[in-house]
Amino acid sequence: MRDKIISKKNQIRSILVMTSLMVVTISVLLKEYSIEELVKVAGSVHFLYLITGIALMFYYAGCQATNFYMIMHRLKQEVSYKNCIDYSYIGNYFSAITPGACGGQPAQMYYMNKDKIYVDISAITIFLMVFISQIVIVLMGGVFALLRYDILAKSARWFSWLLLAGTGVMLSLTAVLSALMFSRIVIPFLIDLVLKLGKKLHLFKKPEEIKEKFDLLIISYREKSRLIVKNPDLFLKVFVVTVFQWIAYCFVSFLVYLSFGYRKNDCFDLMAGQSFINIAVAAVPLPGSVGIAEKAYLNVFGQFYQGDQLPSAMILSRIINFYFPLLISYVVYAFAHHRIMKEQRRLD
C-alpha cells in the first residue's frame, strides 16, 4: 500500500489530477478577470509582508518537525531534528497531492521505517500529531465563531453548511484516532480482520507467522500508548506547539491583507476567515483542496477586499500557504528519498 502511494507513476497521476483541478478552478472562478489585471494588482502589493508570510510557512513546517522530535524522544526513539524536518515535508507533499490528504501519513511511516523507526513508534507518533491537530483546528474555529460570528454570518449559506460538514468530518476523525491510540480492542480487531480476509483471499503464504509478528507489534504499540497516557505534559507541549503552528498558518491571510495596504480589519478578522476555511475544506476530499479552497476564499474574504483586488489576494494567499510549500516539500522529499535509499543500499 505504502509502496503504491510513493510510486512515481501514482505521484505523476496525482499531480496531473491536481493540475487539472487548478486549470478548471482558474477558468471558472477567474473568468471575469484578465491576466493583465491580476498581474497589475499583484504587482502593486508590499512584498515584505508576503516574504514574512513565506517565512511563517517554514515556521509551520518547523513546528511539525518539533512535534515529531518531542514525541519520538519521549518514546525513547533516537532521531535527529533534520530527519524530523524531512518527515514533516514528506507528509506535506503526499498530503497535498492525494485526495483527502490520505497519502501523507502512510508515506511518513514508509520513510520512517526505512530509517529504522518501526511502525509501533511511527504510528502512535503520527496518530497523536493528527489527533491534536484536529482538536486545535476545531477549537480555533469554535473560538473565532464566538468572537467573530459576524464574519461567518456574512458568508454564503453553502459555506455555513460546508463548515458544519467539515466540523463533523474532523470530529469523527478525532474519535477514530482516539480509539486507535487508546482502545485495547480496536487495533487487535482490525488486524484480526485483515488476517482473516487475507487468508480467505490467499494473500498470505504463512498467516501464522504474520500473526505472531503482529502480536508482538501490538504489545509494543500498547506500551508506547501507555507511555503517552502516563505523560500528559507531552500532550500539552504538542498541543501548544500545534496552536502556534496553526496561528502562523492563519496569520498569512492577514499579511496578504496588509500587503494590499488595508488597515480597516484586525488580524483576528482575517485569521477567523482562514480558520473557517481550514475546517470547511475537510468536507471535500480533493487533492490539496484545490477548487473548493479558492471558492471558499472568494466567498469569505470578499467582505475584506475590493472586488478587483480579491482574486489577486486569493492567488497570493494560495501561493504562500499551499503552492510554494508544495514546491519546497517536493524538493525536501526528493533529497530525503535519495538520502534514505542511499543509506539502505549501503547497509544492504
- Mean pLDDT to the nearest integer, 235-240: 97
> What type of residue is 241?
V
Give the side-chain half-sphere CA count within 13 A for 191: 19
Q: Which residue range(s) make up the domain with 340? A: 2-18+36-347
Question: What pLDDT is attached to residue 73?
Answer: 94
- Among 100-114, 139-153, 227-241, the range scoring the smallest mean pLDDT is 100-114
Whether 340 has a pLDDT exceeding 90, the answer reads no
Whether 248 is in a domain gets the answer yes
The pLDDT score that the predictor gives to residue 5 is 54
Domain-embedded: residue 28: no
**Angle at CA of residue 285, ends 281 and 289, nearest 5°:** 50
What pLDDT is attached to residue 1?
Answer: 47
Q: Is residue 199 part of a domain?
A: yes
Average pLDDT over residues 93-110: 87
Please report whether residue 26 resides in a domain.
Answer: no
What residue spans of the chain are helical by DSSP H? Answer: 2-6, 8-29, 35-42, 47-74, 81-97, 104-114, 119-147, 149-153, 157-182, 186-200, 207-229, 232-259, 267-280, 292-300, 310-318, 324-347
Does some domain include residue 203?
Answer: yes
Cβ proximity of 239 and 132 under 8 Å: yes
What pLDDT, in 10s, does the model give residues 115-129? Answer: 999 888 999 999 999
| pLDDT of 298 strictly over 80 | yes
Looking at residue 220, its pLDDT comes to 79
Closest CA to 4 of 103, 113, 149, 129: 103
Mean pLDDT of 27-39: 61
Q: Which three cell numbers stand for residue 192?
A: 484480526
Q: What is the mean pLDDT of the chain?
A: 86
- Counting the structural domains of the chain, the total is 1
What does the pLDDT average to over 231-242? Answer: 95
> With bands split at pLDDT 50, 70 and 90, how would you rate the model's confidence at 341?
confident
- Is 317 among the domain residues? yes
Quick check: is 31 in a domain? no
Model pLDDT for residues 170-226, shown as the tens digit of each residue = 999 999 888 888 777 777 777 777 777 777 776 666 667 777 777 777 777 788 888
Place of cell 487475507: 198
pLDDT in tens, 128-169: 999 999 999 999 999 999 999 999 999 999 999 999 999 999
The percent of residues in the chain predicted with pLDDT above 70, rounded, is 87
Q: What distances in angstroms separate CA 13 from CA 90, 111, 179, 333, 347, one per listed residue?
A: 17, 21, 33, 17, 32
The predicted pLDDT at position 348 comes to 62
Q: Is residue 27 part of a domain?
A: no
Alpha-carbon span 325 to 307, nearest angstrom: 27
Residue range 51-71: mean pLDDT, rounded: 97
Q: At 3, is the pLDDT very low, low, confident or very high (cuts 50, 70, 90)?
A: low
pLDDT in tens, 262-290: 999 999 999 999 999 999 999 888 777 88
